[in-house]
Amino acid sequence: MNVSPAAAAAGLALALSACTGGGDRADNTADALEAAADQSSPAAANVLDNAAEQVREHNITDPAAAQEALEAAGNAQAPATPPAMNGQ
Protein backbone atom coordinates (compact mmCIF):
# COMPACT_ATOMS: atom_id res chain seq x y z
CA MET A 1 0.00 0.00 0.00
CA ASN A 2 1.40 3.38 -1.01
CA VAL A 3 0.85 6.51 1.00
CA SER A 4 1.36 10.05 -0.17
CA PRO A 5 4.16 12.03 1.43
CA ALA A 6 1.53 14.42 2.79
CA ALA A 7 -0.25 11.59 4.60
CA ALA A 8 3.05 10.30 5.89
CA ALA A 9 3.96 13.79 7.11
CA ALA A 10 0.66 14.07 8.95
CA GLY A 11 1.26 10.73 10.64
CA LEU A 12 4.80 11.68 11.50
CA ALA A 13 3.65 14.99 12.98
CA LEU A 14 1.23 13.14 15.24
CA ALA A 15 3.93 10.72 16.31
CA LEU A 16 6.38 13.52 17.01
CA SER A 17 3.86 15.43 19.08
CA ALA A 18 3.94 12.62 21.63
CA CYS A 19 7.73 12.65 21.88
CA THR A 20 9.61 13.29 25.07
CA GLY A 21 13.27 14.22 24.77
CA GLY A 22 16.72 13.18 23.65
CA GLY A 23 17.11 9.56 22.62
CA ASP A 24 13.39 8.93 23.00
CA ARG A 25 12.67 11.65 20.47
CA ALA A 26 15.20 10.20 18.02
CA ASP A 27 13.77 6.70 18.48
CA ASN A 28 10.21 7.95 18.05
CA THR A 29 11.18 9.83 14.90
CA ALA A 30 12.95 6.77 13.52
CA ASP A 31 9.94 4.59 14.36
CA ALA A 32 7.63 7.01 12.55
CA LEU A 33 9.90 7.07 9.50
CA GLU A 34 9.96 3.27 9.46
CA ALA A 35 6.16 3.17 9.74
CA ALA A 36 5.91 5.53 6.78
CA ALA A 37 8.37 3.33 4.88
CA ASP A 38 6.15 0.30 5.47
CA GLN A 39 3.34 2.11 3.62
CA SER A 40 5.43 3.56 0.79
CA SER A 41 6.66 2.53 -2.63
CA PRO A 42 9.97 0.63 -2.66
CA ALA A 43 11.94 3.72 -3.73
CA ALA A 44 10.41 5.90 -1.02
CA ALA A 45 10.74 3.13 1.56
CA ASN A 46 14.46 2.90 0.88
CA VAL A 47 14.87 6.64 1.49
CA LEU A 48 12.81 6.53 4.69
CA ASP A 49 14.54 3.42 6.07
CA ASN A 50 17.94 4.99 5.47
CA ALA A 51 16.83 8.19 7.17
CA ALA A 52 15.49 6.24 10.16
CA GLU A 53 18.83 4.46 10.49
CA GLN A 54 20.69 7.79 10.44
CA VAL A 55 18.33 9.33 13.01
CA ARG A 56 18.94 6.46 15.40
CA GLU A 57 22.66 6.16 14.74
CA HIS A 58 23.34 9.85 15.28
CA ASN A 59 20.56 10.56 17.82
CA ILE A 60 19.06 13.26 15.58
CA THR A 61 16.24 15.11 17.33
CA ASP A 62 15.66 17.95 14.86
CA PRO A 63 12.18 17.56 13.32
CA ALA A 64 13.53 19.12 10.12
CA ALA A 65 15.47 15.91 9.48
CA ALA A 66 12.23 13.94 9.38
CA GLN A 67 10.59 16.51 7.11
CA GLU A 68 13.57 16.40 4.74
CA ALA A 69 13.37 12.60 4.66
CA LEU A 70 9.67 12.74 3.81
CA GLU A 71 10.30 15.23 1.02
CA ALA A 72 13.12 13.08 -0.37
CA ALA A 73 10.86 10.03 -0.22
CA GLY A 74 8.14 11.91 -2.10
CA ASN A 75 10.65 12.86 -4.76
CA ALA A 76 11.88 9.27 -4.97
CA GLN A 77 8.41 7.92 -5.67
CA ALA A 78 7.39 10.71 -8.07
CA PRO A 79 7.59 9.92 -11.78
CA ALA A 80 10.80 11.09 -13.44
CA THR A 81 8.85 12.89 -16.12
CA PRO A 82 5.44 14.46 -15.65
CA PRO A 83 2.56 12.84 -17.50
CA ALA A 84 1.65 14.35 -20.86
CA MET A 85 -1.27 16.72 -20.80
CA ASN A 86 -4.13 15.91 -23.17
CA GLY A 87 -4.32 18.19 -26.18
CA GLN A 88 -0.92 19.77 -25.63
| Residue 78 pLDDT > 90 | no
Segment 25-56, tens digit of pLDDT: 999 999 999 999 999 999 999 999 999 999 99
Amino acid at 42: P
Contact 45, 66 (CB under 8 A): no
* pLDDT computed for residue 20 by the predictor: 52
Q: 3-state DSSP helix/strand/coil percent for the chain, to nearest 5?
A: 70, 0, 30
Distance, CA of 4 to CA of 70 (rounded, Å):
10
Measured at the CA of 36, the angle between CA 32 and CA 37, to 5 degrees, comes to: 115
d(CA 19, CA 5): 21
Are 29 and 14 in contact, with CB atoms under 8 Å apart?
no
% of residues, the chain, pLDDT over 90: 59
Hey, where are the domains in the chain? Answer: 5-76
Q: Residue 77: pLDDT above 60?
A: yes
pLDDT classification of 7: cutoffs 50, 70, 90: low
